[in-house]
Amino acid sequence: MAVLRNLLLTVGAASAAVASSNDNLKSCLQYALTDSGSVAFPGDPFYQISDVKVYNLNIPITPAAVTFPTSSQQVAAIVKCAADNGYHVQAKSGGHSYGNYGLGGTDGAVVVDLKHLTQFSMDNTNWQATIGAGTLLGDVTRRLHDAGGRAMSHGTCPQVGSGGHFTIGGLGPTSRQFGAALDHILEVEVVLANSSVVRANKDQNQDILWAIKGAASGFGIVTEFKVRTEPEPGTAVKYEYSFKIGTTEQRGSLFKNWQAYMSNPNLTRKLASTLTLLQDSMIITGTFFGTQEEYDDLKIGSQFPGANGTAVVFEDWLGLVGDWAEEAALELGGGVASNFYSKSSSWTPQTLMSSETIDKMFEYIDLADKDTLLWFLLFDFQGGYTSDVSADTTSYAHRDVLFWLQSYSINLLGSVSQTQIDFLDQVNKICTPTDTPYAAYPGYVDPLMPNGAEAYWGSNLPRLQEIKAEIDPKNVFKNPQSPLPA
Ligand SMILES: Cc1cc2nc3c(=O)[nH]c(=O)nc-3n(C[C@H](O)[C@H](O)[C@H](O)COP(=O)(O)OP(=O)(O)OC[C@H]3O[C@@H](n4cnc5c(N)ncnc54)[C@H](O)[C@@H]3O)c2cc1C
Ligand SMILES: *[C@@H]1O[C@H](CO)[C@@H](O)[C@H](O)[C@H]1NC(C)=O
Ligand SMILES: *[C@@H]1O[C@H](CO)[C@@H](O)[C@H](O)[C@H]1NC(C)=O
Ligand SMILES: *[C@@H]1O[C@H](CO)[C@@H](O)[C@H](O)[C@H]1NC(C)=O
């Protein structure tokens, strides 16, 4: 009890010291945002569960305020209130960061929730769409469909937000054909640290556009995107092969077949594929954007002897996207918050896992103490369009990646244990290429990873640091793993 009382006293003293800047922040925000419900503070009823509402329960955060602006001008006013009073700022779009909108809230940042910025329009002369940064992916799909049967690349979870997704990469089943979500971006409207609202495109503020396409959380708040769209893919085949049984050797050999088949440089870009490893099964899933006959010609089934396979043909795009969403919901619980830890790793065509490494990985996985049955490893096949673009075209750097690994360990009852973390660390250690710099996907935030900025942005980090020094020297848009000013 004495320990607890001392702790409370210390906290009390510390909060008295910041009380005056806190009061100034409060009155500034209340003056800028006069609509009811457009700003919430710690202590307000349901602050943590309805205003803060984190996705990863394993990372508790307490922002100094959560704001709900309705215009870019209000976003600018919020940034000014925060910066003038010495607070950091983080945007929140879909709130689906593994690190809870960038961990910006851990030290009491001001959160700018963009849920009201969902404007949409389509220019029918060039099929360029304007999308508010608070629009969730499910709504992006539907609005593009309704506006002339158009589509763009993005991930499969409908509750993810475009603000956080389009600016960090945005990989989905059509990315081998159309690029990452950020490859669709032609222009952004963005609020900068000095609270000015600017547009960035190929003719103006090119550096800002370059930084936004891969690293936005440390550079500004995008309020609106203008994107290239593509005609919706027509007929598609969704396939699934699952394996319930198998010795360590059989599982390793299946993985080797999959890696060999997918790494053929001549393989069609119409094929997407993911290999998922779970406690008691291995599943190969994906979509082929073509007809059943074309799919059968690929003879995928014969690559995986002994598998139970299904192939379902979809004629309508919304039906297919809906089916992906159901699958995404099964993986991480989709929109549902939980305690989890996640890591990522990657391979280029030059650094693929050797046969020995694959064997070692499966041996380790079969024997390791995982402390949960709820762990899984997703190996995503990439390359294609995303690899046509050179590494310095956007701040998103990992253009040469052919396979991504996302690994997860979940605890439904409480905090993730050290054993769970050690398991994912050790898998990464065994399978990650050692002769090239470690490349992690910036969209799968791993708050425990040392040197995050190097791993996320690789060779583009120095230029990002220079741009940061120019447009946000005081680190207003603080994200613990973002580039620091040069
Ligand atoms: C269930 C699930 C499925 C996923 N599937 C995929 C997938 O298939 N492919 C894939 O590539 N990724 C996937 N992801 C990862 C996802 O792309 C990232 O977590 C993404 O950053 C989430 O964006 P958000 O807007 O929902 O999150 P938020 O937590 O709101 O934001 C994430 C980060 O972006 C910043 N940010 C948000 N909005 C803006 C803005 N307007 N301007 C500037 N910065 C902003 C935030 O400050 C924060 O740092 C998935 C994640 C989950 C939870
Ligand atoms: C395929 O399915 C059948 C029936 O459901 C099952 O008995 C068999 O073990 C499965 N085979 C594999 C390789 O999973
Ligand atoms: C890819 O196609 C080229 C040209 O048709 C051919 O020479 C090459 O052998 C093929 N590579 C593989 C791995 O199939
Ligand atoms: C705000 O910062 C941008 C980027 O550095 C700069 O171009 C602009 O002139 C600044 N605006 C003001 C009002 O200082």
Ligand 1: which atom is nearest the Cα of residue 94? 26
Q: How many domains does the chain have?
A: 2
Is the domain of 209 the same as that of 241? no
Q: Of 200, 232, 264, which one is at a domain's C-terminal end?
A: 232
Closest protein CA for atom 2 of ligand 3: 266
Average pLDDT, the chain: 91
CA of 278 to the centre of ligand 1 (A): 24
Is the domain of 278 the same as that of 180? no
Q: Where are the alpha helices (DSSP H) in 310-407?
A: 317-332, 355-367, 385-388
CA 285, CA 297: separation in Å to the nearest integer? 17
CA of 452 to the centre of ligand 1 (A): 16
Residues paired with residue 381 on neighbouring β-strands, in sequence order? 403
Is the domain of 246 the same as that of 217? no
Which of 84, 189, 190, 192, when mutated, tests ligand 4's pocket best, judged by the most ligand atoms within 8 Å of its CB? 192
Which numbered ligand comes closest to the C-alpha of 242?
Answer: 2
Whole-number pLDDT of residue 301: 82
Find tokens 């014969």 and name the residue: 302
Is the domain of 180 the same as that of 265? no
Which of 240, 244, 247, when mutated, tests ligand 2's pocket best, judged by the most ligand atoms within 8 Å of its CB? 244
Q: Is the separation of the CB atoms in 176 and 233 below 8 Å?
A: no
- What pTM was estimated for this model as a whole? 0.94
Q: Is the pLDDT of residue 205 over 60?
A: yes
Is the domain of 270 the same as that of 219? no
Which numbered ligand comes closest to the C-alpha of 264?
Answer: 3
Q: Is the pLDDT of residue 7 over 50?
A: no
The least confident of 207-221, 243-257, 364-378 is 243-257
Q: Is the pLDDT of residue 239 over 80?
A: yes
CATH number of the CATH domain containing 293: 3.40.462.20
Residues paired with residue 345 on neighbouring β-strands, in sequence order? 405
Residues paired with residue 383 on neighbouring β-strands, in sequence order? none
Within a domain: 32? no
Does the CB atom of residue 471 touch ligand 4 within 6 A? yes
Within a domain: 353? yes
CA 415, CA 398: separation in Å to the nearest integer? 31
Within a domain: 283? yes
Tens of pLDDT, residue by residue over 416-436, are: 999 999 999 999 999 999 999
CA 56, CA 448: separation in Å to the nearest integer? 14
Within a domain: 78? no
> What average pLDDT does the segment 229-247 reach?
91
The least confident of 312-326, 332-346, 400-414 is 332-346
The least confident of 103-112, 228-237, 329-338 is 329-338
Whole-number pLDDT of residue 3: 36
Is the domain of 253 the same as that of 227? no
Within a domain: 105? no
Is the domain of 291 the same as that of 401? yes
Within a domain: 311? yes
Ligand 4: which atom is nearest the Cα of residue 205? 7
Is the domain of 168 the same as that of 244? no
Is the domain of 278 the same as that of 167? no
Side chain identity, residue 375: W
Q: Of 186, 203, 232, which one is at a domain's C-terminal end?
A: 232
Whole-number pLDDT of residue 106: 60
Q: Is the separation of the CB atoms in 153 and 174 below 8 Å?
A: yes
Query: How many CA atoms, within 13 angstroms, populate the side-chain half-sphere of residue 238?
Result: 17
Within a domain: 463? no
**Is residue 139 classed as helix, strand or coil in its secondary structure?**
helix
Is the domain of 140 the same as that of 185? yes
CA of 102 to the centre of ligand 1 (A): 9
Is the domain of 281 the same as that of 419? yes
Within a domain: 462? no
Which of 266, 268, 269, 303, when mutated, tests ligand 3's pocket best, judged by the most ligand atoms within 8 Å of its CB? 266
Is the domain of 195 the same as that of 328? no
Q: Of 188, 215, 232, which one is at a domain's C-terminal end?
A: 232
CATH number of the CATH domain containing 127: 3.30.465.10
> Sheet harboring 375-381: ordered strands across?
308-314, 236-243, 282-288, 274-278, 375-381, 403-411, 339-347
pLDDT band at 1 (very low <50, low <70, confident <90, very high): very low
Whole-number pLDDT of residue 302: 84
Does the CB atom of residue 264 touch ligand 3 within 6 A? yes
- Determine the structural domain holding residue 279 and report its residue range: 236-457
Nearest to 166 by CA among 239, 96, 68: 96
